[in-house]
């Protein structure tokens, strides 16, 4: 299947509608019926203002976070339409990809 890998970059302390943006994005993906999203917390990152952001032992507020999704063109359009309607301020990377599943589903759960 062809589509896009969309990666959103934010920080743990950035919020939208009272929730951390990364968590909020996962809920939006679920509401839209998207096939999946992964939230990744990073130890350190360099922001667009040239400042280092990092997770500290006692304080995770500045921790860099990314949310990664593999989407069809139609799913991407629905997601971006929703994000524009929500007026959420968010940096992203959208790259064309081929994606799919290999093998048979495992019976182990």
- What pTM was computed for the model? 0.81
List, for residues 9-64, the tens digit of each pLDDT value: 998 888 999 999 999 999 999 999 998 899 998 756 555 566 555 555 455 556 78
List, for residues 77-97, the tens digit of each pLDDT value: 999 999 999 999 999 999 999
Query: How is residue 61 annotated by DSSP?
Result: T
Q: State the pLDDT at residue 47.
A: 56
Break the chain into its structural domains and give their ranges. Answer: 2-98
Task: State whether CATH 3.30.160.270 applies to domain 2-98.
Answer: no
Q: State the pLDDT at residue 20.
A: 93
Provide the 10 A C-beta neighbour count for residue 28.
Answer: 18
Q: State the pLDDT at residue 88.
A: 94
End-to-end distance of the chain based on CA atoms, in angstroms? Answer: 26
Kindly tell me if the per-residue pLDDT of 2 is higher than 90: yes
How many Å apart are CA 23 and CA 16, to the nearest integer? 9
């Amino acid at each position: 299947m062809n589509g896009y890998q969309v990666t959103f970059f934010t920080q743990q302390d950035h919020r939208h509608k009272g929730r951390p943006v990364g968590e909020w994005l996962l809920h939006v993906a679920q509401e839209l019926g998207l096939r999946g999203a992964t939230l990744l917390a990073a130890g350190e990152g360099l922001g667009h203002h040239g400042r280092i952001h990092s997770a500290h032992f006692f304080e995770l507020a500045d921790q860099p976070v990314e949310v990664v999704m593999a989407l069809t063109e139609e799913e991407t359009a629905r997601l971006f339409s929703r994000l524009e309607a929500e007026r959420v301020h968010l940096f992203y990377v959208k790259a064309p990809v081929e994606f799919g599943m290999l093998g048979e589903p495992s019976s182990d759960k």
